Structure 1
Amino acid sequence: METKVFDRIEKKYLITATEKKKFLKVIRKYMKPDSYHKSEVLNLYFDNDNYDLIIQSIDHPEFKEKLRARSYGGYDRVFLEIKTKIKGQDANVGYKRRVMATHKDFSELTSGKTTLAELSMRSIENSNDFQIAREVDYLIGHFSLKPKILITYSRESYKGDDELRITFDENLKYRNQNLSFIKGKRDKIYFKDKRNIIMEVKAHGVIPLWLVQLMSEAKIYPQQFSKIGKVYEKLRKEKNV
């Protein structure tokens, strides 16, 4: 298993394809394509039958936590991730702890055949593996969590100095039935207008001046946009949750 722990400032912007094209001309002067420059991301969010974790997140509390499983198209990897966010004055500070498993292991976990802690013992690399696996198991058991909503999108990512990262997420789709890591023809499209790209800036510390100026000149401002929160609200309007 592979364990990662992240903490960083995160800001999100909704932009158009034209704005993205203009931004990239500047971004490419300071940043390079990430190791996985373009990828298909599939996020499977866990919750209980009352959707308590998602509803809590929508209320914008000072502290929120969620559990998701992330996979990338074409790779036999599933990352079980605990995402924690603490509201700051200018931006949210996010913490992410994750453990990696295979698709087979993930199927055993969600079917109730085993726990993540038991799976982590098969390929444990350090004590963090087991500790984070136990945290995941606790959340699943304590809140009666299970896979509830799948969200997919195409991601283009860039990296810069001081671990600055900018991602562009497009073609956001979702479903809350047939929950497997396979993109379906009946997946629903979330955005209906031109401002349909989610640009996210992730930084450890201060965001560089050139990027601040770029956003200011374009009159693009950060906003709250939780993919799972927005999709849940749309499903609720459709009376599908």
Structure 2
Amino acid sequence: MKNQMTFQRYEFKYLMDYRQLKAVLTAMDPHMVPDEYSHSSIRNLYLDTPNYRLIRRSLEKPIYKEKLRVRSYGQAGEHDPVFMELKKKYLSVVYKRRISIPQDQAMACIDGRRPWQNSQIGRELSYTMDFYQALRPAVFLSYERDSFRGIEDEDLRITFDSEIRYRQEELTLDSDTWGIPILPPGQVLMELKVAGGLPLWMAHVLSEQGIFKTSFSKYGAAYQDIMLNRQRGERKYA
């Protein structure tokens, strides 16, 4: 999945505690296996305008929204390959387009020192950057991810994200994952990525455990925390 460059699917998100997580994992056991890349330490740089236009628009829950980010799976040095991603959501369907490019080249493209790749996705990224203008890395966001895929339906993917942290300093993918925690201790974010609806067995365990779908956005939660801390004049890095 890390090498896949285009995605089209539904994504459903659920917040749960460790007790609920154990029940979900037990229900998954006959139907799911660890993905090829079963564990990842994911690092992201979310791009935005100085007044956070993209995330403010996203939090309004419009019919169409998009985000741009630079992503690596683990620590990435200056010349290591990273993914430049354009993520769109229209009528609840998620479309993700991305290219692999060395981190220094990605940053050069972002700040206008280098043209984007002459490819369909490269042109889409170029258009989006030109449309919004003034886009720059706004937030570093990292988390630990465990990934699973369906045994019979390999398009069914389930991920569990923990230790979700963000910061506005050291906006690079080659540094440690220190920052402000987004989730309370003991809480995990599950994401179901499917081509259609939920499997019946998953619907049953979610109902039994009282786990409900949420519209939780990692970058959205970080932005809201940034605004709250700005009002309070606080920082709480860990």
1: CA distance between counterparts of 2:115 and 2:167? 26
Distance 1:95 1:79, change over 3 A: same
**Which runs of 5 or more structure 2 residues have no equivalent in the other structure?**
234-238
1: CA distance between counterparts of 2:177 and 2:74? 15
2: CA distance between counterparts of 1:67 and 1:132? 12
Corresponding position of 1:165: 157
- Paired residues in the alignment total 224
Corresponding position of 2:110: 110
For 1:117-196, list aligned pairs within 5 A: 117=117, 130-144=119-133, 145-160=135-150, 161-162=152-153, 163-184=155-176, 186-194=178-186, 196=187
1: CA distance between counterparts of 2:55 and 2:177? 25
The structure with the largest helix share of the pair is 1
Q: TM-score, normalised by structure 2?
A: 0.88
Corresponding position of 1:224: 215
Question: Are the aligned partners of 1:3 and 1:99 in contact in 2 as well (CA < 8 Å)?
Answer: no
Deviation at 1:26, TM superposition (A): 1.6
Corresponding position of 1:17: 18
Distance 1:4 1:223, change over 3 A: same
2: CA distance between counterparts of 1:65 and 1:189? 24
Q: TM-score, normalised by structure 1?
A: 0.87
1:208 to 199, 211, 223: 199
Question: Are the aligned partners of 2:110 and 2:129 in contact in 1 as well (CA < 8 Å)?
Answer: no
Corresponding position of 1:234: 225
Distance 1:168 1:185, change over 3 A: closer
Matched, 1:80 2:84: yes
Deviation at 1:49, TM superposition (A): 0.6
**Which runs of 5 or more structure 1 residues have no equivalent in the other structure?**
122-129
1: CA distance between counterparts of 2:191 and 2:57? 22
Question: Are the aligned partners of 2:6 and 2:97 in contact in 1 as well (CA < 8 Å)?
Answer: yes
1: CA distance between counterparts of 2:57 and 2:116? 25
Identity across matched positions, percent: 36
Question: Are the aligned partners of 2:13 and 2:192 in contact in 1 as well (CA < 8 Å)?
Answer: yes
Question: Are the aligned partners of 1:81 and 1:96 in contact in 2 as well (CA < 8 Å)?
Answer: yes
1: CA distance between counterparts of 2:178 and 2:120? 38
For 1:81-96, list aligned pairs within 5 A: 81-87=85-91, 92-96=92-96
Supply the AA of the counterpart residue of 2:132: F
Partner SS state of residue 39, structure 2: strand
Partner SS state of residue 29, structure 1: coil
Q: Deviations over 1:54-85 (max 9, x none)?
A: 10001111111111111110463211111111
2: CA distance between counterparts of 1:189 and 1:47? 21
1: CA distance between counterparts of 2:147 and 2:29? 11
Supply the AA of the counterpart residue of 2:86: I
Deviation at 1:24, TM superposition (A): 0.9
For 1:23-62, list aligned pairs within 5 A: 23-62=24-63
Q: Deviations over 1:148-170 (max 9, x none)?
A: 11110000010003310000000
Partner SS state of residue 225, structure 1: coil
Distance 1:229 1:26, change over 3 A: same
